Structure 1
Amino acid sequence: MPLFSRSPGQAAFTPDGRALAVTTKSANTIEVFPMRRDGRPAHRATVNDSAGGVPFAITFDGSGRMLVAEAEKSTVSTYKVRADGRLKAVQRPLANGQDTLCWLERAGDFFFGGNTGNSTVTGYRTDSRGRLALTNDVGVAAPPSAKSQGVIDLAVTDDEKFLYVQNAVSGTVDGFRIGHDGSLVKVTTVTGLPAFAESGMEGIAAV
């Protein structure tokens, strides 16, 4: 098994299903594999340099633009994915002022990022042109608490009304209601889950 720093951050299909994008943390690249008609990715990828350091999570906006979370300086960059696998940066790294942004999830016109280094959640919004901005000046939509240490993953429900945050160090999951303005209101905290050090709890999904 490769070292964590050398393993891919995330792999994600483009919304049209024509390509598979993979972030490579240590190489600071985003590799795009065209999908073949038989459902398998091409043998060779188009390798793109990442706009920010340590590219990690991948998600897409409603227009199919790709957003990549970058852990080195807790930034997000936005790209247009071209048919040949090349990426065109349409918005350079946007910093959130937090520590180690690793995960990024979409809820309509809003995005939420999990900052593992200081256990906060950042909120983002997009405008009609797809430009990304923070939902508030400090870049924190959900501050840390004693029961929310070690944010490791996020998940949004299919109806885009609730956000769940996995806190690996605390062994908890926080649930938030997503407001119309992108604000978060905590509605629950599930406790008693295995802490990261005990079982390696990592990864969450919601329906």
Structure 2
Amino acid sequence: MPSVGANLSRQQDTFFTLSEFAPMKKQIALTVLAGLAACSQERSVTGPPAARAVALAASVQAVDGAQRAVYTLMNQVSGNAVAIFQRAADGTLTAVGTVATGGTGTGSGLGSQGALALSDDGRWLFAVNAGSNDVSILRVTPAGLVLTSRVPSGGTLPISLTVHGNLLYVLNGGGSGNIAGFALDNGGGATSIPGAIRPLSGPNVGPAEVAFSPNGRWLIVTEKNTNAFDIYAVGPDGVAGAPTLEASAGIQPFGFTFGLRNELFITEAASGSVSSYVIGSSGTPVLVSGAVPTDQAAPCWAAVTKDGRFVYTANAHAGTISGFAVGTDGTLRALDANGVTATVGAGNLDLAISENGRYLYQLRGNGPITALRVEDDGHLTILGVVGAMPGSVAGLAAR
């Protein structure tokens, strides 16, 4: 992690009559509400307590950090913790233990993507503590995860975070909502950047995710309730500017991810679709494929393969994953005519791609994580399911 101030700059690099509109407006409202409910189901875990306890009976404070791993948040009111799963060479997972974050969760759904994030070099893990309004920074070491610091999130109800170089930005969903920026140091500390707390487009916008563009020049925030997303320019001092609001191609933009050629892929839960944009040098998004149907209910979370060839959405209501091939110009083409690239079961939530790009991991609301192999043509093969954790799990990160 670069020292503070050493490198705060980053590389640059149809028309309707009024009588027709009234029932349509009602239907859209009902659709949006359904999408909100679906994408908020990082819900309380069900199932026999004994079975859940067995899954992580050996809760340890140190794991082999040299091994590749997958992480998720327990998000419990009694105390938040990172659940750790060791990844074998064949992509399968083994539950290893938990490490406390020092903060607390909410015990209920965060309705977001990005509650956990790894640094670019994989040496640091960042976690939101939505119940205690702070963020935990954990060092990834050969001996395991080590909690190095906790910092106030700059607002209330932190639900998503993003890291680029030595910059950390947190999305706070409570109150009017905001984003807050921090400078990171080599020791795992974080210092609030003066002037780096910025509002969203307005109150009650239903924020879902914050993420840096690949070059670090822009921050994106999706707003479920406004059917729009914010774009913030990030200055060389790490301070984000005022937000520019962009209309979404589909209804209820939620999770998103970036491709290798400045593509931005955003899921749209209420319209059951996904859109692709290209972010220009000025930060202006150009729509490429607008509201492409998944033919599945409530696509909320998104992940892209490391080579940028395929994008996947987790469809909360359908219990499926939809895959799309990405063209060189950012266009999207469904891999399967019915939108079902894999069936993983009800309550599916976050997605994460392994560091080597060969495996996709998918978190479900009742705790288990499904491991899938990404085939050469983008199709998915289920390798197994592991874990059954207590609490309302949230967020997923893989290395």
Normalised to the residue count of structure 1, the TM-score between the two structures is 0.90
Aligned to 2:261: 63
Aligned to 1:163: 360
**Cα distance between partner residues in 1 of 2:246 and 2:332:** 21
1:117 CA drift (Å): 1.0
1:83 CA drift (Å): 3.7
The reply on whether 1:92 has 2:290 as its aligned counterpart is yes
- The residue identity in structure 2 corresponding to 1:118 is A
Aligned with 1:77: secondary structure? Answer: strand
Aligned to 2:79: none
Kindly indicate whether the alpha-carbon contact (under 8 Å) linking 2:360 and 2:371 is maintained by their aligned counterparts in 1.
yes
Tell me the alpha carbon deviations over residues 30-89 of structure 1, each in whole angstroms, 9 at most, x when there is no partner.
Answer: 1100001111211x1111111111001111122111111111122111112234433221
Aligned to 1:202: 394
Aligned to 2:343: 143
- The residue identity in structure 2 corresponding to 1:152 is L
Tell me the alpha carbon deviations over residues 4-49 of structure 1, each in whole angstroms, 9 at most, x when there is no partner.
Answer: x84311111111111101111101111100001111211x111111
1:2 CA drift (Å): 5.2
**Cα distance between partner residues in 2 of 1:186 and 1:81:** 33
The reply on whether 1:152 has 2:349 as its aligned counterpart is yes
Aligned to 2:210: 11
Aligned to 2:331: 131
Aligned to 1:179: 375
Aligned to 2:388: 192
Aligned with 1:204: secondary structure? Answer: strand
Aligned to 2:311: 111
**Cα distance between partner residues in 2 of 1:92 and 1:154:** 22
Aligned with 1:136: secondary structure? Answer: coil
Kindly indicate whether the alpha-carbon contact (under 8 Å) linking 1:25 and 1:55 is maintained by their aligned counterparts in 2.
yes
Tell me the alpha carbon deviations over residues 68-117 of structure 1, each in whole angstroms, 9 at most, x when there is no partner.
Answer: 11111221111122344332212211001000000010012011110001
RMSD over aligned CA atoms reads 1.6
**Cα distance between partner residues in 2 of 1:33 and 1:88:** 16
Percent of aligned positions that are identical: 28
**Cα distance between partner residues in 1 of 2:312 and 2:349:** 13
Higher deviation after alignment, 77-86 or 15-24? 77-86
Kindly indicate whether the alpha-carbon contact (under 8 Å) linking 1:78 and 1:92 is maintained by their aligned counterparts in 2.
yes
Structure 1 residues 21, 100: closer, same or farther in 2, change over 3 A?
same
**Cα distance between partner residues in 1 of 2:388 and 2:230:** 38
Query: How many residues end up aligned between the 2 structures?
Result: 197
The higher-RCO structure (CA 8 Å, 6+ apart) is 2
| Structure 2, gaps ≥5 residues long | 1-173, 177-203
Structure 1 residues 127, 87: closer, same or farther in 2, change over 3 A?
closer
Tell me the alpha carbon deviations over residues 98-153 of structure 1, each in whole angstroms, 9 at most, x when there is no partner.
Answer: 00000010012011110001111111111233211111111111114xxx320011
**Cα distance between partner residues in 2 of 1:22 and 1:78:** 15
| Structure 1, gaps ≥5 residues long | none
**Cα distance between partner residues in 2 of 1:34 and 1:8:** 18
Given candidates 267, 272, 280, the residue that maps to 1:82 is 280
Normalised to the residue count of structure 2, the TM-score between the two structures is 0.48
4+ residue runs over 6 A deviation: none
Structure 1 residues 86, 127: closer, same or farther in 2, change over 3 A?
closer
Kindly indicate whether the alpha-carbon contact (under 8 Å) linking 2:278 and 2:287 is maintained by their aligned counterparts in 1.
yes
- The residue identity in structure 2 corresponding to 1:160 is G
